[in-house]
Amino acid sequence: MAPSDVLPEALAYNLNFLHPLLMLGLLGLSSYGMLLGIKAKKTRTADVETRKQLIKGKFAKRHFQIGSLILAITVLGTFGGMAVTYINNGKLFVSPHLLVGIAMTCMIALAVSLIPLMQHGNLIARKVHVGLNMGMMTLFLWQAFTGLQILNKIWDNRPA
């Protein structure tokens, strides 16, 4: 099935840019979520006086809320990118970019699944949560680089 059988060619081509734009926003949102997580930890581990001041920032609550949004956008962005690739090409290209994207989606789902244990004070769950998210952020930066390479190929092969 050709892309023109599903969508007009211009629309199918323009959809190529939705995933990268969404992921760029997600990278920024993930960085903000990480900052909130760091501040939540500082609040949890601070002395009494400092903690009184930091609690006003509601960092843990904001980290949780942003994390939920990050999970949703990650899942939608991963499968949306795969869908657009399939619509435009009739197949998925099994590449490191695809496989790492799928791994990142699994990592964030696992990190979120640890929240109930963390809320009960499980320190190992908290450390695994942080490790998964730091690993995901590292992979995310690599994904941005490989994504720009893919975008460049799409741009070079744009319709006349």
CATH (domain of 61): 1.20.120.1770
- Please, what is the average pLDDT of the chain? 92
**How many domains does one find in the chain?**
1
Whole-number pLDDT of residue 26: 97
The predicted model scores a pTM of 0.87
Using alpha carbons only, what angle is made at residue 40 by residues 35 and 44, rounded to the nearest 5 degrees?
150
Whole-number pLDDT of residue 3: 53
**pLDDT tens-digit profile of 82-118?**
998 898 888 999 999 999 999 999 999 999 999 999 9
160 within domain boundaries: no
Q: Tokens 């952020």, residue?
A: 137
Percent of the chain at pLDDT > 70 equals: 94
Higher pLDDT, 87 or 65: 65
Band the pLDDT of 157: cuts 50, 70, 90.
confident
Domain extent for 137: 3-155
Distance CA 74, CA 10 (A): 26
Distance CA 66, CA 36 (A): 9
2 has a pLDDT exceeding 60: no
Instruction: Give how far the C-alpha of residue 42 lies from the chain's centroid of Cα atoms, to the nearest Å.
Output: 24
Q: Tokens 């629309």, residue?
A: 11
Structural Rg of the chain based on CA atoms: 19
138 within domain boundaries: yes
101 within domain boundaries: yes
**pLDDT tens-digit profile of 7-47?**
677 777 778 888 999 999 999 999 999 999 999 999 999 99
Distance CA 103, CA 135 (A): 10
1 has a pLDDT exceeding 80: no
